[in-house]
Chains A and B, each alone.
Chain A
Amino acid sequence: MRRTTYIVVAGVVLLFGLSWVLHAVSMSGEADGIERAFMITMAAFLTLAIYSFLYKDNPFYKFAEHLYVGVSAAYWMCQAFWSTIVGNLFPRLSEGLSNYFQQPYQASGWNITYWIPVILGIMLLMRLTEKYGWMSRWPLAMIVGTTAGLNFVRYLRSDFVVQVSSTFMPLLGEDPHRWQGFGAFISNLDLSATGQLAAIVSNWVIFFGVICGIIYFYFSKEHSGAFGRASRLGIWILMITFGASFGYTVMGRISLLVGRITFLFRDWLEIIS
């Protein structure tokens, strides 16, 4: 390693230690002050390590990234084991196992079919061995097949049938936003009248937006004349939709940055309350 690298690493370690000591001193009255001080310093270090990627790729970023992936995987595995295998499966399989893990035994819940997921789970783990790796294909096929079957029915209903019917909007409005003519609209220029017009306009936008969007993706006819104009309107609708998505994405990312900066300022540097 170069000399500069040693200096940077030593500086980070020194700052880490200093931050830990200062926080531990300020939390000396609390029972777990030293541990909390370490946690806050660690969280601040990892936050800065991840953001250091914005300058350029570096070992601190790599360390934080790998730690994050490892801790996440371990955390999910432990939670799944204790909540589902210990919490749901063992109490229905064996009284001894239930007592060992201090879970209430469910004698009425015992069913021989609960051994099937146990066997399939073990088969899935066979993937780790070279000789019996083929056995993992069976439970994997079961997972894929079950998911596909469940999703097919649910998506067909909620994302297709209901969505198609939702596109057939009442173009003249409906209660409480039924259109009562321009006379009523002009003479009642208040918030409810505006809401009435907005609801109707939005229904027209949805109706024409869907049709024009579909036309844009219809390639069996040349996009010219009225068909071409509808197709151009379709691409505009799509672009506006993508723009809205982009705007929301920016808002989401900024929120995360706000969260981390608030943590750094409030919990680590303690410069805001």
Chain B
Amino acid sequence: MAYLGVIISMLVIFGGLAWLLFRSIKGREVERRVIFVFIFVAVAAPILFPITFEEHASPVVKGLFDHIDTLPPGSRVLISFDYDPAMAPEVQPMANAISFHCLDRGHKVVFMSLWATGQTLLFNTLEDVIRPEFPDLIDGVDFISTGYKAGNEGVLNVIVSDFKKMFPTDVNGVPLDSAVIFDEINSCADFDLIVALGGGRPGPKEWVLFVGDPADVPIGVGVAAVVAPQLYPYYPRQIIGMLGGVKGAAEYESELAHRHERFKNMAQPGLKMMGPQTLAHIVIICFIVIGNVAFFRSRRREGR
């Protein structure tokens, strides 16, 4: 049934595109709303009839994966949720996969957020992934959520030297002095790895500038696709690895599923999203070709 749905969708999309190409060659314009309809169909069809592709982790994704995998169990990892619901479809799969990976390896994880909206998305990760998958782990001992603090770079500037000064309590109002996980953590320099998830400001770039470089702490980032090109210059010296957009999330999930048996049975939204991504990209490329055909045809006609 799914295959039949995929075949019918492909016929509709590519048949429509061929018809548009024919119209363009004839010199007739394509209404912009027609493009929107094609993109909608190209995205909706693989969601209704799922298509999945094999993904392999690229070196930039493997950099972060291998670092988490090779850290000795009990290492201290800080994960910062610096994004909002608009970025969540891309970044939340990364957040879930990385959080799962860290806790599955036995690391002690501190969660925080520089965005007010990140706190709610952090709560989703705790409820959807951590509590169901790791029911034996204890809040305050194995992991802790310190929640959100306002102040952007100001927050980073403080926690780089004194974490508890900015976060005196966890998200539930429990003093961090009484949390076992914070027995050996005073500042960001005490973490073995910091993972910054986001795509805006403050975000991964600010973590590199205000914490990673001054405190010499390894930073890994998971970012929305829009800002990924801006962060490539920091790899590999200033960031150990990067997950760029949903492609990065899919690669990370694929690597996790290959190397951690438990993750195979879990939801892998990043991999699922690659089907719609691929088809939508093919449609966009086709529209670029159609647009160019129309452009050169009209220029040739004007030349006559």
Contacts and interface: CB of A to CB of B under 8 A. Distances in A.
A157 interface: yes
A259 B277 CA distance: 11
A84 B88 CA distance: 24
Interface string A214-258: 000000000000000000000000000100110011111011111
Contacts of B40: 257, 261
A110 to B, nearest CB: 13
Interface string B275-293: 0110011001000000000
A87 interface: yes
Interface of A is mostly: helix
A163 interface: yes
A160 B166 CA distance: 29
Nearest to B208: A158
Interface in A95-150: 102-104, 106, 109, 146-147, 150
Contact of A154 (B44, B166, B210, B284): B210
B230 to A, nearest CB: 8
Interface stretch (A7-15, A18-26, A34-42, A75-83): A75-83
Given A87-B169, A88-B149, A251 B247 contact: yes
A261 B238 CA distance: 37
Interface residues of B, number: 53
Contacts, number: 137
B228 A162 contact: no
B62 to A, nearest CB: 12
A25 B235 CA distance: 52
A250 B246 contact: no
Interface string A192-227: 000000000000000000000000000000000000
A31 interface: no
A250 B169 CA distance: 40
Given A76-B116, A249-B226, A257 B43 contact: yes
B39 interface: yes
Nearest to A154: B209
A159 B116 CA distance: 27
Given A84-B151, A259-B89, A103 B169 contact: yes
Interface in B43-61: 43-44, 47-48
Interface string B198-231: 0000000000111011100000000011101100
B229 A241 contact: yes
A248 B229 CA distance: 8
Interface of A: 54-55, 75-76, 79-80, 83-84, 87-88, 91, 102-104, 106, 109, 146-147, 150-151, 154-155, 157-159, 162-163, 166, 241, 244-245, 248-252, 254-262, 265, 271-272
6 contacts: A79-B119, A83-B150, A154-B213, A255-B89, A257-B40, A261-B276
Given A158-B208, A248-B245, A265-B44, 15 more contacts: A55-B33, A79-B119, A83-B150, A88-B149, A103-B173, A104-B169, A150-B153, A245-B229, A251-B245, A252-B226, A254-B39, A255-B245, A255-B246, A257-B276, A261-B44
Interface of B: 33, 36, 39-40, 43-44, 47-48, 86, 88-90, 116-117, 119, 147-151, 153-154, 157, 166, 168-169, 173, 175, 208-210, 212-214, 224-226, 228-229, 233-234, 237-238, 244-247, 273, 276-277, 280-281, 284
